[in-house]
A and B are shown apart, each in its own frame.
Chain A
Amino acid sequence: MTLKNKEELPLGGLIEEAGNAAEYETGGWRTFRPVWDFEKCIQCLTCWIYCPDSCIIVEDEKVKGADLRFCKGCGVCANECPPKIRAITMEEEVKFKK
């Protein structure tokens, strides 16, 4: 994400467009990321319900993973995935850095 410089910012720190938090990417805080094993996943949507950042992507009623622009890596999804399934593992973020 490129940050705006002072000339581009609204005066007084006003927020001029509603709902623009969607553009504020907070995934940079993450040190772990969830990784899905879709062989195991039973599509119970528990992870989708529990994610505190609403970043689990669901399409056609199926979990597709997490929107990593917002995922803080809290591990709630992996913890809440049913114990017999354990379809999500939290992997160290550094492994994904090239």
Chain B
Amino acid sequence: MAKRESMTGNQVVAECMRQINPDVVAAYPITPSTEVMQIFAQSVADGLVDTELVTVESEHSAMSACIGASAAGGRVMTATSACGLALMWELLPVASALRLPIVMTVVNRALSAPINIHCDHSDSMGCRDAGWIQLYSENAQEAYHNIIQAAKICNREGVWLPVMVCVDGFIISHSIESVEMLEDDEVQRFVGEFKPRKPLLDVDNPVTYGALDLQDYYMEHKKQVDDAIQSSKSEILKVAEEFKKEFGYEYGLIDSYMMEDAEVAIVALNSTAGTSKYVVNMLRQEGIKAGVLKIRVFRPFPADEIREALKNVKAVAVLDRSSSYGTAGPLFLDIRSAMYEADSKPFITNYIYGLGGRDIGIDELRSIYEGLISSIKEGKPARTYNWIGVREKV
């Protein structure tokens, strides 16, 4: 039986890890994910899990330890944020190309400089090309469900890839939320026993991991990664289907809110999708046909599903909590590229918002919807690339 508990996002993540009981966890503290490891380490100290907790001297080593432990055949998890994730970057494509099913919670935080500990998505967007599946979570409840599902997606036949579960730093990680927690044995039963693929510790069937792979084979192995992450879509959906059957919660690649008849829509990731839904409720009371499209799975990118969801919308604003400086927001670039093949294209604008934890409030989101409405009235798209919430001379 599920029970309601009041916990911070980080507590929920640590509790989820305790319930999964991974074989190996590598820990290095970095704000705002530090608490995850701190709380989980207590579970290890109290003997509540069988986990080997590896305390390392940097995040580069944390990911190295995860890779070694995963190749050895263990169920492996870790958590990090921002500069810590950036320091892991060299190892991230190693984990995906060696097909190691590591599950990592990324508590999203801004990258330096200037030094800032608050939320934005420049960390996880910075490694969107590393071959990791990326799931985004609107709140602590979804973070909990995403991690449980990630632990099952990562080692599905035809996947064998690492999964990153993204959660907004402070906004979710340090806020107390009422979360419906499953029983330990329900979680255990759902994620199942972990059976490694080609473990290094199977001395009867020795294998070499990480051999040299030059011009003659490197591309074939990278194409294997691309094939796997592309086709992981169906496995992500199958796991979501099993999750729904067991626990009643519904998940897809995307989450459409009031999109059936929407004329204007915001596309967003993580907690901002929740705030946008609130604004949509207000707008709907005023008779404005507004909707929200939340992207749950950013890698693999659900281009077909997004195109389908946006096909009848007249104007769309894609919200990016990071910028690919010198071009535009990464989510926007993918969405506009997906819409190129649509029969009728909505106006698509991009807003960079909330960097370094700057709040995005109801008023800003409302003004974005209003901008979309006026672009429809004027019959021409608004300026494509915008920053919202920045003080500047106009």
Do the beta carbons of A12 and B220 come within 8 Å of each other?
no
Do the beta carbons of A6 and B221 come within 8 Å of each other?
yes
A11, B220: Cα distance in complex, Å? 10
Query: A13 at the A/B interface (Cβ < 8 Å)?
Result: yes
Q: A3-B216, A3-B217, A16-B198 in contact; A9/B207 too (CB < 8 A)?
A: no
Do the beta carbons of A6 and B208 come within 8 Å of each other?
no
A51, B220: Cα distance in complex, Å? 33
Q: A11-B160, A12-B97 in contact; A6/B209 too (CB < 8 A)?
A: no
Interface centre among B209, B210, B213, B221 (most CB of A within 10 A): B221
Residues of B in contact (CB 8 Å), total 22
Do the beta carbons of B160 and A13 come within 8 Å of each other?
no
Main secondary structure of the interface of A (DSSP, over half): loop
Binary interface profile of B, 199-227, with partner A (CB < 8 Å = 1, else 0)?
00000011111110100110011011001
Can you name the residue of chain B whose Cβ is closest to the Cβ of A3? Answer: B216
Contact partner of A9 (CB less than 8 A), chosen from B98, B160, B217, is: B217
Least CB distance from B303 to A in Å reads 23
Binary interface profile of A, 1-38, with partner B (CB < 8 Å = 1, else 0)?
00111100111111110100000000000000000000
Do the beta carbons of A15 and B223 come within 8 Å of each other?
no
Do the beta carbons of A11 and B224 come within 8 Å of each other?
yes
Main secondary structure of the interface of B (DSSP, over half): loop
A18, B204: Cα distance in complex, Å? 12
| B206 contact set on A, CB distance < 8 A | 18
Do the beta carbons of A12 and B223 come within 8 Å of each other?
no
Contact partner of A14 (CB less than 8 A), chosen from B208, B223, B227, is: B208
Contact partner of A13 (CB less than 8 A), chosen from B98, B197, B205, B227, is: B98
| A15 contact set on B, CB distance < 8 A | 207-208, 211
| B208 contact set on A, CB distance < 8 A | 14-15
Least CB distance from A36 to B in Å reads 31
Do the beta carbons of B99 and A9 come within 8 Å of each other?
no
| B198 contact set on A, CB distance < 8 A | 10-12, 14, 16
Least CB distance from A69 to B in Å reads 15
A9, B211: Cα distance in complex, Å? 13
| A18 contact set on B, CB distance < 8 A | 206
**Which B residues form the contact surface with A (CB < 8 A)?**
97-100, 160, 197-198, 205-211, 213, 216-217, 220-221, 223-224, 227
14 contacts between A and B (CB under 8 A): A3-B217, A4-B220, A6-B224, A11-B160, A11-B197, A11-B198, A12-B99, A12-B198, A13-B97, A13-B210, A13-B213, A13-B217, A14-B207, A16-B198
